[in-house]
Amino acid sequence: MHPAFSVIFLTTLIGAGQGLFLGLFGAEALSLLGVLPPPGSDFLALGSALALVFLVLGLIASFFHLGRPERAWRTATKWRTSWLSREVIVLPAFMGVVFLYGAAHAFGFNPPLGTLAGDVPVLLTVVLGAVGALLAIVLYVTTAMIYACIKFLQEWHSPLTVVNYTVLGAANGFTLAAAYAAWAGVPLVAFLATVAIVLTVLGLGTRSASLVRNSRIKSKSTLQTAIGVKHPKIQQKSQGFMGGSFNTREFFHHMSAAFLRGMKWIFLLGAFVVPAILLLVVLVTRIDPVNLLIAAFVIQYLGMVAERWFFFAQANHPQNIYYQSVA
Amino acid sequence: MTQLALVIDLNVCVGCHACVTSCKEWNTSGDAGPLVDQNPYDADPTGTFFNRVQSFEVGEYPNTETVHFPKSCLHCEEPPCVPVCPTGASYKRESDGIVLVDYDKCIGCKYCSWACPYGVREVDAERKVMTKCTLCVDRIYNEELPEWDRKPACVRACPTNARLYGDIHDPESVVSKAIREAGGYQLMPEWGTKPANHYLPRRKTQLTIREDEVERADNPLKIDSQLPKPGQDEPSLDDVTSW
């Protein structure tokens, strides 16, 4: 497939935004349980604003993918059958909850909505945060299922696609949360950086698993099934036209195999190895973590962009069988 | 239920591209809007087409044959492009099984083209919406055309009658008979899309002649052998030779 930068930026930016929100709410929830020090309302409010910035930027990027963006509202109508429609519903819903969560913290509006057994108050921000966290996970799933549900794009049609979108986005988001906590001087860096390392290493494992899986894929469609001629030796002599067409532009990445291999190593290093090392350095040394963590996030984000580029480029669409020879 | 479809006879198609140009001409002139071309007379021409003819060489020289392969939307009975559409612009008509795009609802997200294994949907670069073969829905029900002309433009254009058109759910239709009797098949059956369009395979026309059929066994002159008997590759003439 031809990697479209609009979709690459959409999925990586909202992935980081979702992960950041999961980090913020995770820290708040654990602080209420007494495991972590309280992060403070200002930290959570500004963090929610930062998450919203990423989500909005992702949403803006997505509009560049559309030929008719003015009709984008129509995309919410077919949620019964289309994962794209479901994503389009969940993304604004998640953004709305993040906004309310941040606003509640910013204005200190946090009344208990009820009590659990043992007189534990259920705070408004906890309810909003829990709903937001659930929507963040659902959004990872809906985004990934857009690709995973197309069965003849065999590289994508796997549960690993959903796992990778979730784990990679969350890893990048937790790295961002750790950098933000370090910048804000909130004593949550160790917790957030630890989770970020765990997710990054986990992501390296699950993404490598999908690389191994994809390297062994045997295409179900062949030239024989494509034109229905059962002869072992068939050669295309003409694709019917000599100029380009939508078929030759949309479904080919037009890069060399060496470029593809290079991109694979770039994203393995950039998205996993380098950020994991930087996060580890922050955890075990006493170096000022702010710049290191910001560097870790930026490198990991660029690694995610490379990963997403590779994700699209590696998918081999069966229609390409029909476009092997110009004339 | 009706399922209109094309049946394309690969044994008859000569690869003349008349269906391609006829399709382009009809569909670029219709009410639904033009199929726009970019740089049509320049170095890098491109544009929207609903139908293409490709050519394949089957076998190894000298035992090869050329297969000309027209390719357009197959109007699948289980179209994978329809459920993925987020707006409902891509739909399959209940009444006749034609898969269509509502150009007024399409947002041009290209997702349906990703979800089509055959690559028969094209985004029109200027109209910014997904376009595809309509089975000439504006011809086949067009009451301004005479009855015999209410067929897809590609079918009307084909000089060798390689394209048949009809209802594949009607067992007595010309397309159903062709599929049944000439071994009609579907493309990429492995994806369960159940394409409505079928293709008829190449057929070898062979005649086996036995030795005793070459000579006229009951020729009385031959039995008598009274006249000269020329070699098999020389001309023979009744009453003059012994064949």
pLDDT in the model for residue B94: 95
Tokens 């994508």 belong to A156
Across A271-301, b (16+ Cβ under 10 Å) vs e yields bbbbbbebbbebeeeeeebbebbbebbebbb
User: Euclidean distance between the first and final Cα of chain B, in Å?
Assistant: 62
Q: Is A170 strand, coil or helix?
A: helix
Domain span holding position B242: 207-243
Tell me the torsion sign for CA atoms A49, A51, A53, A56. Answer: negative
pLDDT in the model for residue B227: 67
* Shared domain check, B190 and B73: yes
Q: Which domains does chain A have, with CATH numbers?
A: 5-322 (1.20.1630.10)
ipTM: 0.92
* Shared domain check, B123 and B61: yes
* Shared domain check, B121 and B14: yes
Closest partner residue to B86 (CB to CB) among A78, A225, A239 is: A78
Q: Is A317 strand, coil or helix?
A: coil
User: B86: distance to nearest CA of chain A, Å?
Assistant: 5
* Shared domain check, B157 and B222: no
Tokens of B2: 């009706």
State pLDDT tens for residues B200-233: 999 988 899 887 777 766 666 565 666 677 677 7
Test the A interface: residue of B16, B17, B19, B111 with most A CBs within 10 Å: B111
Give the residue from chain A lying closest to B80, CA to CA.
A150
The widest CA-to-CA distance across chain A, in whole angstroms, is 78
Report CB contact under 8 Å: B113, A228.
Answer: no
pLDDT in the model for residue B32: 83
pLDDT in the model for residue B210: 85
Give the integer Cα–Cα distance in Å for A30 and A34: 6
Give the residue from chain A lying closest to B68, CA to CA.
A238
φ/ψ of B238, rounded to 5, equals -60, 145
* Shared domain check, B217 and B196: no
Report CB contact under 8 Å: B111, A146.
Answer: yes
DSSP A240: S
Which chain B residues contact residue A6 at CB under 8 A? none
* Shared domain check, B238 and B188: no
Q: Which of residues 20-49 of B touch A (CB under 8 A)?
A: 20, 39, 44-49
Q: Does A82 touch chain B (CB under 8 A)?
A: yes
Q: How many domains does chain B have?
A: 2
* Shared domain check, B241 and B166: no
Helix (H) or strand (E) holding A236: strand A234-238
Closest partner residue to B56 (CB to CB) among A69, A153, A237 is: A237
User: B71: distance to nearest CA of chain A, Å?
Assistant: 9
* Shared domain check, B219 and B188: no
Q: Does A221 touch chain B (CB under 8 A)?
A: yes
Question: Under a CB-based contact definition with an 8 Å cutoff, are residues B58 and B64 in contact?
Answer: yes
Q: Is A112 strand, coil or helix?
A: strand
CA B164 to chain centre: 7
**What is the SS3 string spanning chain B?**
CCCEEEEEECCCCCCCCHHHHHHHHHHHCCCCCCCCEECCCCCCCEECCCEEEEEEEEEECCEEEEEEEEEECCCCCCCCCCCCCCCCCEEECCCCCCEEECCCCCCCCCHHHHCCCCCCCEECCCCCCEECCCCCHHHHCCCCCCHHHCCCHHHHHCCCCCEEEEECCCCCCHHHHHHHHCCCECCCHHHCCCCCCEEECCCCCCCCCCHHHHCCCCCHHHHHCCCCCCCCCCCCCCCCCCC
What parts of chain A have a pLDDT lower than 70? 327
Domain end residue (candidates: B200, B215, B234): B200
Which pTM value belongs to this model?
0.91
Report CB contact under 8 Å: A240, B52.
Answer: yes
pLDDT in the model for residue B213: 77
Helix (H) or strand (E) holding A40: none
User: A74: distance to nearest CA of chain B, Å?
Assistant: 5
pLDDT in the model for residue A215: 96
pLDDT in the model for residue B226: 66
Closest CA to B197 of B5, B4, B3: B5
**What is the SS3 string spanning A257-280?**
HHHHHHHHHHHHHHHHHHHHHHHH
Other CB atoms closer than 10 Å to residue A78's CB: what's the count? 23
User: B85: distance to nearest CA of chain A, Å?
Assistant: 6
Report CB contact under 8 Å: B190, A78.
Answer: no
State pLDDT tens for residues A98-110: 999 999 999 999 8
Q: Does B141 touch chain A (CB under 8 A)?
A: no
* Shared domain check, B65 and B162: yes
Indicate which CATH number applies to the domain containing B9.
Answer: 3.30.70.20
* Shared domain check, B171 and B220: no
Q: Which of residues 47-76 of B touch A (CB under 8 A)?
A: 47-49, 52-60, 66-67, 69, 71
* Shared domain check, B241 and B158: no
Q: Which residues contact A82 (CB under 8 A, 6 or more apart)?
A: B83, B84, B85, B86, B111
Q: Does A318 touch chain B (CB under 8 A)?
A: yes
Other CB atoms closer than 10 Å to residue A220's CB: what's the count? 14
Question: Under a CB-based contact definition with an 8 Å cutoff, are residues A289 and A182 in contact?
Answer: yes
Q: Which residues contact B171 (CB under 8 A, 6 or more apart)?
A: B180
Report CB contact under 8 Å: B107, A233.
Answer: no
Question: Would you write out chain B's pLDDT as a tens digit for each of its 243 residues?
Answer: 899 999 999 999 999 999 999 999 999 998 888 999 999 999 889 999 999 999 999 999 999 999 999 999 999 999 999 999 999 999 999 999 999 999 999 999 999 999 999 999 999 999 999 999 999 999 999 999 999 999 999 999 999 999 999 999 999 999 999 999 999 999 999 999 999 999 999 998 889 988 777 776 666 656 566 667 767 777 766 666 655
* Shared domain check, B177 and B218: no
Q: Which residues contact A41 (CB under 8 A, 6 or more apart)?
A: A105, A106, A108, A110
